[in-house]
Chain A
Amino acid sequence: MSDRSVTPTDAKPWQSIEQLAGTLPPAGEFAAGITEAPHFSSNVSRRGFMALLSASMALTAAACRRPIQKLVPTVKSLQVATPGLPMDYTSVWTNGNVAYGALVRTREGRPIKVRGNDQHSVNRGKASAAMQASLLSLYDPDRIRRTRVNSGQASLENAVVKIADAVSEASAAGKKAVVLTDVHASPSWAALMTEITAAAPAVTFVTVPAVVEDASAMATRALLGVDGELVPDLSKAAVIVSIEADFLGTDPLALYHTGRFAQRRRPGFSDAPMSALHVAESQYTLTGANADARHILHPAQFEQVLAIIEKTIGGSNVGSDIAPSATGSVVSIGEKLASALRSAPAGQAVVLVGRHCSPRAHAIALAVNNTLGAMGTGSILDPAHVLPNSGVKQPAIDALVDDMASGRVHVVIAANVNPEYSGSREFKSALAKVPVRVALNLYEDETAGICSISVPTAHWLETWGDAVAFDGTLSVRQPMIAPLNEGIPGVEDTLIAVTKKLNAAFLGETADYYTYVKNRWTALLGASGNAEAAWTKALQDGVVPQSPTPNTVVLNVASASALPTSGLTQGKVVVALPALSVGSGADANNGWLQELADPVTKITWDNVALMSPATAVALGLAPSKEAKDVVKANESVVTLTTAGGSIDVPVWVQVGMADDVIATQLGYGRTKAGSVGTAVGSNAYALAERGGVTSYRTLSGVRPTGKKHRVATTQSHHTLDDGNGERSSIARTVSTADLASGRLPDLNPHYIDQGEDKNGNYKVPLSITPDYKYKGHKWGMVIDMSSCTGCSSCVIACQSENNIPVVGKDQVLRGREMHWIRIDRYYRGDMDNPMTVVEPMLCQHCDNAPCENVCPVAATTHSPEGLNEMTYNRCVGTRYCLNNCPYKVRRFNFLNYHDGKEKSPLDLVFNPDVTTRMRGVMEKCTFCVQRINDAKYHAKDAGRARVLDGEVVTACQEACPAGAIIFGDTNDPNSAVSKARIHERRFQVLAELNVRPSVTYLAKVYNTDKKMLPESGGH
């Protein structure tokens, strides 16, 4: 049952096979306890004496010895570590205060893949790009390894003593020692913070996340009396109106929302009718890209539209003072949205507001939702579903700034936060006045740079912890590996050690975070019987379902009406939201995320100033709004100035944005991120004054600098229109009206109009030789473009699974990104407010593959199971296959992207089941052939001749939160993929070339009454 123990001697992932296989025998072979290493507290036996004797030597090097900490794999995993075979452990990954269940695959004791835990109710086994990419940060060679005091190395003990001394000084002087923390979802950490303050009263905690967005909590606090954000369940919504809410994109809850939203976006696959998404926004967000109807508003109009909605729907008057200011199109948009909301069945419509909008906007939306019946236990907005730690934060931060500025703070300990990078100018100048500054961090970052003491901390995959989801689900965070850098503790353990120095009685004998967490959990779980067994089960399952505390809601409209509005007026405004890839900047040194193209702009490795074509023209950057003219504005660097400060960013013209709005991204412009993230883009936090970094701000100036900055995109042409008509057959779209009109016409274009028989074979064969008959398995994939939102989880899932290299900005500029699956994004329709189609594109494993016959050395061939196989060893690199691939999904190693000289420990991130490729070799999607083979071995072990449906899950499919990817055996008529392949929305990209792709797409569906297909069908 229990198998791997994490002890300080496990400091390296593994050193030898013997050490690797050093597992405890199964329970029962020896008497209980006999196999456990001796504890200092136990009575000294003969064995113990020997251990102590040798430990005394080790003591000279190690200050303390942690007790054995047992990890528990999942029930489906191998239970005993076996060289060459994977083990799966549950854990929990938190995106700020949002907890997502994780399932981490380890090989030889090192984590190689982060997946979702399907037992977890929030993400249901799915994983976001950032969640999966956090694996790479674990092995980041730029992570700090040594404790630093001033400019010299010091022992951890020494640093802890220094910190404790400083806190004592503070305490003696009647001053504060403040720990700056990030938002979190951990009940144990919250409890520990309380206990630390109780044990050492000088120590207080202030939450200073990079991005503070209080508006939502202010609204719920005023209107409902709940200090925190409510989390909606969009699978219950038939009509969703989003005012600037990017719940599918930059929102920390996007992984959860994407899953729930997509549940009702797959006509023909779910019983619930398709939901409709109406978006009114000023940027072009990923949510807007998925909208059925999209309206463009200036940020000054958000509250007006909401007020019109409220007025039209009636029932409350939170925005009654704003409604009269709305005019013209704003009124009509508001009324349209209101009528959409009213068209939904009772309780099935919801209004969402962007977390960076004003408190009043949120309050109006809440009131409208209440009127619509969307609020209540079991409804879309359950008042019990409050995001943990999401209460109002700005007042505490403001008070801290005052305290620091006026010398009331003696010590600041930045615990995994980076205020020197993300803080306002005011915060930074106040911070500079604090005499003792300490950083507990993964990196020697901007904040560590101004701290006299810097203590490295462990990664989430290296430390114990726990997290609670908004729906009450509890999870334990298990470490997957001992800290790679020997003896590095988590933030919690460092603070426990500091507190222990201040108050020797703190937490008693075993003062460490593992014990602390375990004790809390066993106390919680022990109420229902055997605590140890319950703890083991909690680790196995990764979840302990708990009901959240119910909230009783009393509407207080009066106090909601007093909430502040954005105060914006028409005119130039700027907004900076966390980037969809690198987030708020903590992940800036993660190459996978830096190279992940934004699904809307397709930009990598940079932040830009997005603006509408008209705005670019107005700024004199482009001669006209014509497409060929307006692109001239791209890459011109402009200086954006607000009351907070100014930044230089390159312009990127984005269609579908509101005029006068400039949108940029946070998370870039790091000055001390590491070798990957330093000096990538510019720091948009500089635009913020005190608080509310993501709010829209009035621009006091936009000045072209005359300079150019190259921006690396992964797509250079953005529409299906090739200048001579639309290539609509590549990415088919239909509407619910088309679906309702009966059977769809065949969506495949036919150049050879001769028909197919009922098996899908051409009546008149296209070849003089008979088609190959696939007798065993025949692998195929279906991608539902209707549920795909473009979130790009699949891209990172594939990168992690298949050891795909990061090539860097220069190579992306040259068009050499290596992703095996890419998200093609096309705009359609009116270019002032275009619709978007996203289409995941990967090797189509054509049965009549054009790449195969042109390879002179037969390096790419067809398998008897329908896979288009690439034999790296045989490839000489003529690139003919790449040229002849009509989908251009083949990727060539132009340079030695994997030179085998990866800085340690980065080489440990590779999946040992997949070879890395040298330069001069072609590569591409394999349909995760290593997983197919693994499933075949298992089937053989189980005495089966065939793999069962669902046993092979490709990496992209596994991660896809929208469930848009179905993979399986198309020779099995009952498999999910076979059923999906004959769906009426099916089409194959470039079917007319007779390449016979194994990937079938299902047309994107827009929920609209307008028919999109011509009556006569395709051509």
Chain B
Amino acid sequence: MTDHGQIRESLVLGNPSIRDVTARIASIVESKITIKYLLTLGFTATLAGWGLFALYYTITTGIGVWGLNNPLGWGWDITNFVFWIGIGHAGTLISAILFLFRQKWRTAINRSAEAMTIFAVVCALTMVLSHTGRPWLFYWLLPFPNQMQMWINFRSPLAWDVFAVNTYFTVSALFWFVGLIPDLATMRNYVKSEIAKKVFGVLSLGWTGSTRHWHHYEIAYMLLAGISTPLVLSVHSVVSFDFTVGILPGWHTTIFPPYFVAGAIFSGFAMVMTLLVIVREILDLKQFITLKHLDNMNKIMLATGMMVGYAYILEFFIAWYSGSDWEKWIFLNRMFGDYAWAYWAMFTCNVVSPQVFWFASNRRNIPLMFIISIFINIGMWFERFTIIATTLHHDFLPASWGYYSPTWVEVSIFIGTFGIFLTLFLLFAKFVPVIAIAEVKSIMPGAQPAHHHHDHEHDHVAVGSGTVTEKVH
């Protein structure tokens, strides 16, 4: 049943030895920093710096430097926030849910997906902290005892957001770090530089690789995966409450939580795909990140893309079925109003473009999947923009209708968040093992110490399995 040697495609190509795996992945950290790497890092850091400058300008001058106006209190700021939070979800899904479901193919990508989660949440936090009118008072959003004897308003979805996002960040960071410990120890043993040895030594928390360590590690990892799993569903559900708790047509809908979660996974996988296609090319990790991995991810994108497509269409049905004139109108306005271009951009990118993945050959076509993943990233950004802008720009009283376009400052901040994200990712790819060395080893043929266990339970399968294993050896 769990046969992966023959019936299923191998998850590691080239049949490397255990030692080869360590050497291949650890050498990325150990190798010299190239000019090419520095130039790339310089470029992304410049983007980040430019975005931070735009943020500085915003904070010192006021939100007025953005394009927001009276009916549109939110624009690119919250769009970006939801976008980045959504991106993060793939990491949690891959590391937690796929772990619990024993999806072994996840091992090649879970490390970078988790890193991506953390970096995406950093970007999201940047957006959400800076979007307020008086960001220096951000701590007022936290419940803490104070001389004003003021609690936060626990009825506000924004307060829920604070908890959701902070929990998410904390758990994701812990999960990632715990998963890194065996690899950090590997690096400690592998690197030659004394300083690096010290740093990895401290970070690996005295890991020796003893059975006891492994035992504790496995339990901790399992627990964190268990804690993370509900977060995959809860965080984006809470984010969607920012809209659903509002009374505005187009926001006040019950479909948002599942629709947002599906969308988050969808966009997250697209972002992982975009990054991995580049990483496996540049760092030459084709051996570990195989077409099989990419194929699986494309299937998930197809499925989640269909889910969001279903949600888009269902929204129209519900608008009609609700009997609310406001609701009906807002959805017509989405399709044919001032922001119809954004709606159709979203629909095309998110619903139409993933349909190519019905065909196996397309799922293994790297240039195509790269393009589609970019489309999905764009489409999912537009999804959030459409929800925010179309609802706000034309609500109830026609006299207060408006229109919104961003200024250079908002665009710069958005680009800046990409800069932050990519800079962090590049640093990660250079200084931390991008692939979970220990976990990859665990899925290599013959690496499963649990085989005997299986034999015991399912005799007839185990025999076959054993035979195959022998053959491979």
Contacts and interface: CB of A to CB of B under 8 A. Distances in A.
Q: Do the two chains belong together in a single complex?
A: yes
A724 B332 CA distance: 9
Contacts of A993: 247, 396
Interface in A720-761: 720-722, 724-725, 727, 730, 751
Contacts of A919: 62-64, 133-134
B402 A716 contact: yes
A110 B247 CA distance: 45
B467 interface: no
Interface stretch (B49-57, B68-76, B368-376): B68-76
Q: Which of B66, B70, B74, B325 has the most chain A CB atoms inside 10 A of its CB?
A: B70
A368 interface: no
B131 interface: yes
A856 B396 contact: no
A880 B73 contact: yes
Contacts of B394: 717, 722
Q: How large is the interface on A (under 10, 10 to 19, 20 to 34, 35 or more residues)?
A: 35 or more
Contacts of B402: 716, 815
B68 A879 contact: yes
A724 B335 CA distance: 13
A858 B154 CA distance: 9
Given A725-B325, A876-B140, A888 B397 contact: yes
A894 B75 CA distance: 14
A877 B132 contact: yes
Interface string A683-726: 00000000000000000000000000000000111111110110
B361 interface: no
A474 interface: no
Interface stretch (B29-37, B156-164, B264-272, B432-440): B156-164
Contacts of B152: 856-858
B248 A886 contact: yes
Contacts of A888: 70-71, 395, 397, 400
B134 A875 contact: yes
A717 B61 contact: no
Nearest to A848: B247
Interface string A881-899: 0111011100111111000
A644 interface: no
Given A853-B156, A876-B137, A919-B62, A816 B396 contact: no
A854 B400 CA distance: 21
Nearest to A922: B133
Given A722-B329, A876-B140, A892-B70, A887 B63 contact: no
B397 A724 contact: no
Interface residues of B, number: 58
B141 to A, nearest CB: 5
A921 B324 contact: no
Interface in A274-317: none
A716 B401 contact: yes
Contacts of A826: 398-399
Chain A residues touching B, majority SS: loop
Contacts of B460: none
Contacts of B1: none
Contacts of A886: 247-248, 395-397
A878 B148 CA distance: 20
A853 B73 contact: no
B153 A921 contact: no
Contacts of B135: 876
Contacts of B333: 722
Nearest to A921: B133
B151 interface: yes
Interface in A907-925: 918-922
Nearest to B162: A856
A989 interface: yes
B258 interface: no
B399 A895 contact: no
A933 interface: no
Given A857-B140, A880-B158, A884-B248, A920 B399 contact: no
B388 to A, nearest CB: 9
Interface string B130-146: 01111101101100000
Contacts of B159: 856
Contacts of B141: 856-857, 876
B245 A853 contact: yes
Nearest to A719: B398
Contact of B73 (A822, A857, A879): A879
B70 A858 contact: no
Given A857-B141, A879-B74, A880-B158, A720 B133 contact: no
A811 B133 contact: no
A568 interface: no
A920 B153 contact: no
A39 interface: no
A824 B158 contact: no
A197 B159 CA distance: 76
A850 interface: yes
Nearest to A839: B399
Contacts of A857: 140-141, 150, 152-153
B392 interface: yes
Contacts of B207: none
A825 interface: yes
Contacts of B66: 894
A471 to B, nearest CB: 38
Nearest to A860: B153
Contact of B396 (A721, A724, A730): A730
A894 B63 contact: yes
9 contacts: A727-B396, A856-B153, A857-B140, A874-B150, A880-B158, A886-B395, A888-B397, A892-B68, A993-B247
Given A850-B246, A855-B158, 20 more contacts: A721-B398, A727-B398, A816-B70, A853-B155, A853-B245, A855-B156, A856-B162, A857-B153, A875-B133, A876-B134, A877-B63, A884-B246, A886-B247, A887-B397, A888-B70, A888-B397, A892-B63, A919-B62, A919-B134, A990-B397
Interface of A: 715-722, 724-725, 727, 730, 751, 811, 814-817, 822, 824-826, 839, 841, 850, 853-858, 874-880, 882-884, 886-888, 891-896, 918-922, 989-990, 993, 995
- 6 smallest beta-carbon distances between A and B, as pairs: A877-B133, A920-B133, A815-B69, A879-B73, A894-B64, A895-B64
